[in-house]
Amino acid sequence: MKKLTVIFFMVVFSAFSVQGETLANVTGHKGLTLIIDRGAVDGVRIDMTGMVKAVYKDLGEGEYTMNIGNFTVRKVSERTAEISIEPGKGMKPADASYVVFEQTLVPEEIQAEPAQPAVVPENADGYIDQGDKAADGENFQAALAFYQKALKMEPANLVVQEKISEMKKLIAAAEHGAKFKDLIKKADANYEKNKVKIAFLYLVEALRVFPEGKPEVQSRLNVISREYPQELAAVLSEKSAQLKDIRPQLDELLELKTPVFTIILSLFGVFAALYTVLREFIK
């Protein structure tokens, strides 16, 4: 019973003394030197002092905490610190679990130093080097600006002229690619609304803007030709004049069209020819 009373007193006293203090966990020890998990950024400074605590387990009685010595901060790093311990009689530094500082720790506010702008040598080679770095990072607009500055210094530099030409092509390709994606998105939206004619015309514009996107256009044209062969044949006939410039590409993409579509397209051609003859006959 006496033992229980002592343990209870020690736990209550320990809990009371810790309140309002700043704690740090012990993460390692080397003889009388302990390593804690708080450092300069947490407000730890050399010569700070406090108390070392140990948590023990008592068989059948749970856990209890004891003060096992005092400490002084000897070395401080950014996130950790080393403290020297003066253990009490019979106490072992290796038993240390955490420490309690006597002083209130004030965390240090870490402010990142403002990034310094890159120093570009005021010559053509310096601007070319910066342009190459921007191009490698796919920042083509910035690369173009650097190359143009280099060209002002060396107007006859063929390498710079070629780099400028290349950047302009890449910028144009990126712009066309973005517009292509937008047109494809609009084509899909209209197709979902069963507006097949509008969807088809968006696909035509997408192909004109960005021929490299042919596979995406073809997959959608194949769906239209399979699901709506009549509508597709009608718009091809109706817009034949406007599609004249791109009709070879469309015919190539529609090579996988179904036999039904082929028959329907042929019939539309026949009807269109008959209509033209009838109009001339009526006149």
Q: Which residue has the higher pLDDT, 45 or 91?
A: 45
Q: Tokens in use for 98? A: 């955490």
Mean pLDDT in residue range 112-140: 78
Each domain of the chain, given as residue ranges in start order, spans 2-101, 179-282
Q: How far, in Å, CA of 51 to CA of 65, rounded?
A: 12
Q: Tokens in use for 160? A: 């710079």
What ranges make up the beta strands (E) of 4-93?
22-30, 33-36, 49-58, 62-76, 81-87
Residue closest to 64 by CA, chosen among 56, 75, 74: 56
CATH of 2-101, one of 3.40.50.300, 2.40.440.10, 2.60.40.3470, 2.40.30.20: 2.40.30.20
Per-residue pLDDT of 129-171, as tens digits, reads: 999 999 999 899 999 999 999 999 999 999 999 999 999 999 9
Q: How far, in Å, CA of 62 to CA of 258, rounded?
A: 81
Mean pLDDT in residue range 11-29: 61
Per-residue pLDDT of 186-202, as tens digits, reads: 999 999 999 999 999 99
